[in-house]
Amino acid sequence: MIALGSDHAGYELKREIMKYLDEKGLKYKDYGTYGPESADYPVYGEKAARAVASGECDRGILVCGTGVGIGIAANKVRGIRCATVSDCYSAEMARRHNDANMVAVGARVVGVGLALKIIEIFLETPSEGGRHAKRAGLIMDIENR
């Protein structure tokens, strides 16, 4: 199950992402916002992030205008490693090296085609483990200090 979240700026792109996930037969749960009216990105970033952190969802995809604000909000939730990404290489490495469990994209930064490619890479790329798993663990240790 994939957790989705966006603000108003990300709402239309989130709908495109839903269409893409439907076509792929992938299940998702949308944690809002549910319309194009102005909405506060931290609210929806947190909701989707809590679904991932609790294990209710395996991964999360977030969208706001830049992907930055909603990504920062998600990373405040314990257990979340959210990467704000606007290119394919970073999407791949966010999985391989950082074991990112959420990705954030900016609807005002990337077009639909690139956003969907980023999401495809994020969903299909495994984490490399090894020394990278140790480093991801060190990131999570920061939450406990």
Of 1, 43, 68, 112, the residue at the interface with ligand RB5 (CB under 6 A) is: 68
What minimum distance in Å lies between the beta carbon of 5 and ligand RB5?
12
Distances (CA, A) of 107 to 20, 54, 57: 15, 27, 23
85 binds ligand RB5 (CB under 6 A): no
43 binds ligand RB5 (CB under 6 A): no
- Using the 8-state DSSP alphabet, how is residue 97 labeled? T
Contacts of residue 22, defined as CB under 8 A and 6 or more positions apart, other chains included, come to: none
Q: Between β-strands 28-30 and 82-84, what pairing exists: parallel, antiparallel or unpaired? A: unpaired
Longest dimension (CA), the chain: 44
* 8 catalytically annotated: no
Q: How many CA atoms lie within 13 A of 60 on its CB side?
A: 40
Q: Are 119 and 90 in contact (CB under 8 A)?
A: no
Residues 22-41 within binding reach of ligand RB5 (CB under 6 A):
41
69 binds ligand RB5 (CB under 6 A): yes
9 binds ligand RB5 (CB under 6 A): yes
Stretch of 14-22, 63-71, 78-86, 124-132 lying at the interface with ligand RB5 (CB under 6 A):
63-71
Q: Are 92 and 133 in contact (CB under 8 A)?
A: no
* 88 catalytically annotated: no
Q: Which is closer to ligand RB5, CB of 7 or CB of 99?
A: 7
Q: Which is closer to ligand RB5, CB of 60 or CB of 69?
A: 69
The residues assigned a catalytic role are 64, 97
> What residues make contact with ligand RB5 under the rule CB under 6 A?
7, 9, 41, 64-66, 68-69
